[in-house]
Amino acid sequence: MIGLKKGRYRASQAKTPLDIRSAQALRARCFGLDQDTDIFDPLCTHVLIRRVQDDALVCCFRMMPLSGAEIARSYSAQYYELDALAGYAGKMVEMGRFCVDPQINDPDILRIAWGAMTAYVDENGVELLFGCSSFAGIETSDYLDAFAMLKARHLAPKRWLPRVKAPHVFRFAARLRRTPDAKKAQMGMPPLLRTYLMMGGWVSDHAVVDDQMNTLHVFTGVEIGSIPAARKRLLRAVLG
């Protein structure tokens, strides 16, 4: 059971239908939707980050435990062909619907969120964390340096590489022929994806163009055993 308090914020696991509805309401506001519910919500552990002062919900995400044989049931499998990962032997968890109140800009929120994720991974013996990392909007030209950086440094190992499934994709690994500007690439990366990459994460060789959510997203995986030791210490420091 997740329970973590650090400074101005505390993380907890949703326990009631009201908790989940609160998360869904924040997601809808962040994603610009009238509502945000789906068939995966009842299958997931929902993590809520609240401000201690007034109990306001400032961040949420959900995690769904899976085995390799079950990966076709994941949210990501709607958009990516994941047959290669069906042979993954260890425990895995899909992390999704990560959002932070757009009116709040506080890096401590991301820190405690990753602390809660670390606690869940440790407690459940998770070996692979994966999900979809989203760029705002669907204009690929806004993120060419970021995609070029992903191609140059962060593509998935061939044995796990997701294949194309969605009807509308940007095959950046095949199409881009440019040396990325490191500063522009970092500025273009979503904060969640930057964190994945700092942990040794890898991505698909294409981005899905999601018109419904108005996002571009890449499949992202982090093998827990490959996270650099220094980064693991930073993640676990939040738990101390």
Average pLDDT over residues 130-139: 96
Q: Tens digits of per-residue pLDDT, 208-228?
A: 999 989 999 999 999 999 888
Let me know: does 109 contact 9? Beta carbons within 8 Å.
yes
pLDDT at 24 over 90: yes
- Taking residues 11-35, report their average pLDDT: 95
Q: 172-212, pLDDT tens digit by residue?
A: 999 999 999 999 999 999 988 999 999 999 999 999 999 98
The boundaries of the domain holding residue 164 are: 3-237
Q: What percent of the chain has pLDDT over 70?
A: 99
- pLDDT of 240: 63
Q: What is the pLDDT of residues 69-125, one digit of tens each?
A: 899 999 999 999 999 999 999 999 999 999 999 999 898 998 899 899 998 998 999
- In terms of phi and psi (left: phi > 0; alpha: psi -120 to 50; beta: otherwise), the region of 207 is beta
| Cα–Cα dist 218/206, whole Å | 7
pLDDT higher than threshold 70 for residue 45: yes
> What is the pLDDT at residue 229?
86
For the ranges 99-108, 160-169, 226-235, the lowest mean pLDDT is seen at 226-235
Tell me how crowded residue 87 is: count the other CB atoms within 10 A of its CB: 11
- Given a cut of 90, whether residue 3 has pLDDT beyond it is no
Other CB atoms within a 10 A radius of the CB of residue 225 amount to 9
Q: Give the integer Cα–Cα distance in Å for 238 and 222.
A: 19
Which pLDDT score is estimated for 63?
96
- pTM, whole model, 2 decimals? 0.93
Mean of per-residue pLDDT scores for the chain: 94
CATH of the domain at 66: 3.40.630.30
Specify the number of domains making up the chain.
1
What is the length of the chain? 240
Q: Helix or strand or coil: residue 62? A: strand
CB atoms within 10 A of CB 25: 14
Tell me if 45 sits within 8 A of 63, measured CB to CB. yes
Residue 160 in this model has a pLDDT that exceeds 80: yes
